[in-house]
Amino acid sequence: MHKIVIKGGVALAGEVQVSGAKNAVLPLLFATLLSAGQSEICNVPALRDIATAEALLNTLGATTLRVDDCCRIDATKIQSIEAPYDLVRTMRASVLVLGPLLARCGHARVSLPGGCAIGARPIDQHLKGFEALGAKITLDHGYVEAQTEGLRGAHIMFDMPTVGGTENLLMATALAEGDSIIENAAREPEIVQLAEALNSMGAKIEGAGTARIHIQGVSSLQPLNISVMPDRIEAGTFMIAAAMTKGNLLVRGACQQDQEALVQKMLEAGVSIDPEQDGLRVIGPHRLTPVDIRTSAFPGFPTDMQAQFMAMMALADGTSRVSENVFENRFMHVCELQRLGADISIDGHSAVIHGVKQLRGAPVMATDLRASACLILAGLAAENTTEVSRIYHLDRGYERIEEKLAGLGANIERVPE
Ligand code: EPZ
């Protein structure tokens, strides 16, 4: 076990390259199951979740090979249709094999992911969509089993925009017989890339990125060759690092169009953000202005940036309110921020933050992926030393973050716990 030790107070400076997007790579890896051939996905970050996804592909019979930042997948032979509990419980995105296995093999058996730190995270919308396509769904011994003699296109209406649900149903309908419509679809940029990837394999998908997607089923798909988009959440995390440390950073790969809501709120907070070269130039102000945020599905403020933004508001010159409307338990970073001197109180789905002049270093504990990033950010701005433990959460979604931050002048290192 390791921990990260930070001596705060350094104004970050220089430039940082954002890695490939974790939440784009995962569905793309599983999309390769739709084609009996050799695919290649590049700009793949070295993350625990990606390793788990590759292990799952191997369990199903696909071979995977890492060559530099590329992953080569050969899904010619599928020898199993079962995603076992020990893999699914470590990475909920494993449920994204349901759509491809149903479409390719007519059968899938996936352990129910169970809840996670940030919420129950059910998959009822995924299952409702598969049933609309004619699949028979049964639940037993903690597994969901889906079977079909052949998926038939349907009109699918989600109760709420679901990223995973939209991705699973895009992959299933791509090979269904006839046309499908997905209403109330999620609109995240990662979904747009998945649709582009499927279309490059021979699928016929229109409207990805809007709430209404039209899919004309085809009989087979070619292998995939694609380079993954930059990670907008990693980019946002570095942008907030600049804002909190009065820094001056060029975040390469940051794309304003993919994070308009975050950029607008940071501009309101007094941060300077300008497009420069292939990224965004971010300059932190002397004192941050308090700003309220309400998380919602894209293009609203991303829930995956809520914890990081709260850390920034902990230093603002006044009171702000953060409302978490996507997940039911995504405030576990609050009590850890309080240990660093933040003045935050929780009121149901909202947190009220009274900004303080200075945070003070202390030992804190990560509880989930984005909470761990928030604590790193707070440690960078705090005086004295902050130690963040349980950083295995961090390694799920950030590639070598302490090296990248050290490259920007931060006094940060990973040490054995
Ligand atoms: C994806 O999770 C992301 N993960 C999450 O990122 C992200 O927070 C989330 O989308 C929202 O943007 C990946 O892409 C691998 P949802 P997902 O289905 O697909 C409810 C990170 O930090 N819901 O859009 O699981 C659900 O409970 C992770 O990188 C149902 O009720 O999220 C939640 O309240 C964390 N029934 C809301 O919808 C369903 O069948 C949004 O969930 C599906 C979802």
Q: What distance in angstroms lies between residue 172's CA and the mean position of ligand 1's atoms?
A: 18
Chosen domain end from 204, 227, 250: 227
Domain tally for the chain? 2
φ, ψ of residue 205 to 5 degrees: the values are -120, 130
The whole-angstrom distance between residue 277's C-alpha and the CA centroid of its chain comes to: 25
Q: How far is CA 284 from CA 232, 250, 267, 350, 401, in A?
A: 19, 12, 10, 26, 20
Q: What distance in angstroms lies between residue 247's CA and the mean position of ligand 1's atoms?
A: 32
Q: Quick: pLDDT tens for 150-196.
A: 999 999 999 999 999 999 999 999 999 999 999 999 999 999 999 99
- Residue 119 confidence (pLDDT): 84
Same domain, 280 and 222: no
- Residue 412 confidence (pLDDT): 98
Same domain, 335 and 200: no
Please list the pLDDT of the chain residue by residue as tens digits (417 residues). 899 999 999 999 999 999 999 999 999 999 999 999 999 999 999 999 999 999 999 999 999 999 999 999 999 999 999 999 999 988 999 999 999 999 999 999 999 887 777 887 899 999 999 999 999 999 988 999 999 999 999 999 999 999 999 999 999 999 999 999 999 999 999 999 999 999 999 999 999 999 999 999 999 999 999 999 999 999 999 999 999 999 999 999 999 999 999 999 999 999 999 999 999 999 999 999 999 999 999 999 999 999 999 999 999 999 999 999 999 999 999 999 999 999 999 999 999 999 999 999 999 999 999 999 999 999 999 999 999 999 999 999 999 999 999 999 999 999 998
Same domain, 282 and 347: yes
Write out residues with Cβ below 6 Å of ligand 1: 23, 26, 93, 119, 121-126, 160, 162-165, 186, 303-304, 326-327, 369-370, 397
Same domain, 181 and 260: no
- Closest residue by Cα to atom 18, ligand 1, is 162
Q: What distance in angstroms lies between residue 284's CA and the mean position of ligand 1's atoms?
A: 31
Same domain, 211 and 292: no
What's the domain range around 189? 22-227
Q: Which residue in 373, 304, 375 sits closest to 339, CA to CA?
A: 375
- Closest residue by Cα to atom 26, ligand 1, is 121
Query: Closest ligand 1 atom, CA of 370?
Result: 22
The pTM is what?
Answer: 0.97
CATH number for the domain spanning 321: value is 3.65.10.10
Q: How far is the C-alpha of 253 from the C-alpha of 364, rounded, in Å?
A: 30
The best mutation among 23, 127, 401 to test binding of ligand 1, ranked by most ligand atoms within 8 Å of the C-beta, falls on: 23
- Closest residue by Cα to atom 21, ligand 1, is 304
Q: How far is CA 392 from CA 48, 85, 131, 339, 398, in A?
A: 9, 20, 37, 21, 10
CB 98 within 8 A of CB 118: no
Query: Closest ligand 1 atom, CA of 186?
Result: 24
Same domain, 15 and 29: no
State the maximum Cα–Cα separation within the chain, in Å, rounded to a whole number: 64
- Residue 370 confidence (pLDDT): 96
Q: Which residue has the tokens 């890695």?
A: 19
Q: Which residue in 122, 121, 78 sits closest to 100, CA to CA?
A: 78
Task: Please tell me the number of Cα atoms within 13 Å of 153 on its side-chain side.
Answer: 17
- Residue 120 confidence (pLDDT): 79
3-state secondary structure of 125: helix
Which residues are designated catalytic?
116
